[in-house]
Amino acid sequence: SQQGEEDPQALSIQEGENATMNCSYKTSINNLQWYRQNSGRGLVHLILIRSNEREKHSGRLRVTLDTSKKSSSLLITASRAADTASYFCATDYFIIQGAQKLVFGQGTRLTINP
């Protein structure tokens, strides 16, 4: 299976703390994308990290990628109640004519306690 796996499955922290979520995958990838999903809503794109990149930042988000270990991590600094959501990593494979197929894990359910 190409499915990625997120760890932990659930994480509960206090507001202001940092949250770290990990993702592992099984086969070589082109890119890896992180998404956020609020309960009952669609997926919001957070960051795309390319296979030749090791680290990427966007605001309070920091994503790392280690292709030798087939793993990625998402760090959210100074968490806020609004960060409460499920976070998914999606490994990115080319399927045909350059189109991409995303393979998602089960996600990490993050709860920020005020």
Partner 1 sequence: DTGVSQDPRHKITKRGQNVTFRCDPISEHNRLYWYRQTLGQGPEFLTYFQNEAQLEKSRLLSDRFSAERPKGSFSTLEIQRTEQGDSAMYLCASSQVWTGASGNTIYFGEGSWLTVV
Candidate residues 30, 54, 57, 58; the one interacting with partner 1 per rule CB under 8 A: 30
Q: Which residues, including other chains, have CB under 8 Å from residue 76's CB and lie 6 or more apart?
A: 18, 19, 20, 60, 61, 83, 110
Question: Please, what is the minimum distance in Å from the beta carbon of residue 93 to partner 1?
Answer: 9
For position 43 contacting partner 1 by CB under 8 A, the verdict is yes
Minimum gap (Å) between residue 13 Cβ and partner 1: 21
Q: How many angstroms separate the CA atoms of 41 and 44, rounded?
A: 9
Min dist. Cβ of residue 87 to partner 1 (A): 10
Contact between 42 and partner 1 per CB under 8 A: yes
Beta carbon nearer to partner 1, 14 or 39: 39
